[in-house]
Amino acid sequence: MKDLVTTTKPDLIPIAMSLTGVSERTRETYGICMSSYQNYCAENDTELNLDSLKAWIISSNKPSTQALRTAAARKVFGQLYKGHPQLEELKEAIAEIKVVKKDHAISESKYVTTAELDQIIAAAPQRIALMIKTLFMTGLRISPALNMKYSDCITIQEGRVIEITVVSKGNKQSKKHITKELFEEIKGVFGGENFLFEHNGQQYNRKYISEQVKKIGKTIGKNISSHSIRHSRAAQLMEKGVTLDKVSKFLDHSQINTTSGFYLKSKPTLEELGVI
């Protein structure tokens, strides 16, 4: 196995950036990971091998970073040694690297209450307020929310609800719903021709919106991100008594938690989501 990893001394970054079957953002993230790994090897005067790979992965004490590094290593080395007879053995060795288990519990630091959300919306500029309302109503991550197009919208429930086809993390296609009133307000304020959230014919920048949400959160003493709005929606639905499997389906999760591998079929109704 050692010979497999060290037979060549490739530059792993271009390999990461040329991966297929993943988004451009994922390629960029994996490229950053591989740069970090190569720098780690250079700084510690060690070769690219399983021992250094393991040491690099666990050198971070953040579960999310360890999981990301493991995923990047599996994908990049899988591409590098595609067709090699020992590839499966290498993948298994990477998969066996023990990482800290991430706590997925939604704590108070990860969400805002309905009252706090109202405060944030009231303090936000009109356009940011509309984005926050949409993030909350749909439970979307920021990127797929900014990618929503008018061409993917249809009217249902006798004109009371707008159903939007979105592509979320992992290239999963799903249906999200907002009220007709919110939709019309978005159209009137943004006036986009293609995307719901559009400025001078261009999509809004994800980083900019995240920074704005964080800035506005601080006005009420909360250290939040755009993703906190998603957590908040999940917390609100569970407080309403919506079952965990329905919440998981609504959020487009493949698993209820890190130990569950079951795919879920039920999802909350439009009434439970408060759309109608």
Tens place of pLDDT per residue across the chain (276 aa): 444 555 456 789 999 999 988 888 899 999 999 999 999 988 988 888 888 888 898 888 788 888 889 889 989 988 888 888 777 877 788 777 766 555 545 556 667 888 999 999 999 999 999 999 999 999 998 999 999 999 999 999 999 999 999 987 767 788 999 999 999 999 999 999 999 999 888 889 888 999 999 999 998 888 888 888 988 887 788 778 777 778 788 887 665 442 233 223 445 667 777 776
Which residues face 166 on adjacent strands?
174
Question: How many helices (DSSP H) and strands (DSSP E) are in the chain?
Answer: 13, 5
Q: Give the list of residues 6+ apart from residue 137 with CB closer than 8 angstroms, or none.
A: 177, 178, 179, 182, 233, 273, 274, 275
User: What are the pLDDT digits (tens) for 160-196?
Assistant: 999 999 987 767 788 999 999 999 999 999 999 999 9
Q: What is the pLDDT of residue 107?
A: 54
User: What are the pLDDT digits (tens) for 16-58?
Assistant: 999 988 888 899 999 999 999 999 988 988 888 888 888 898 8
Distance CA 101, CA 219 (A): 33
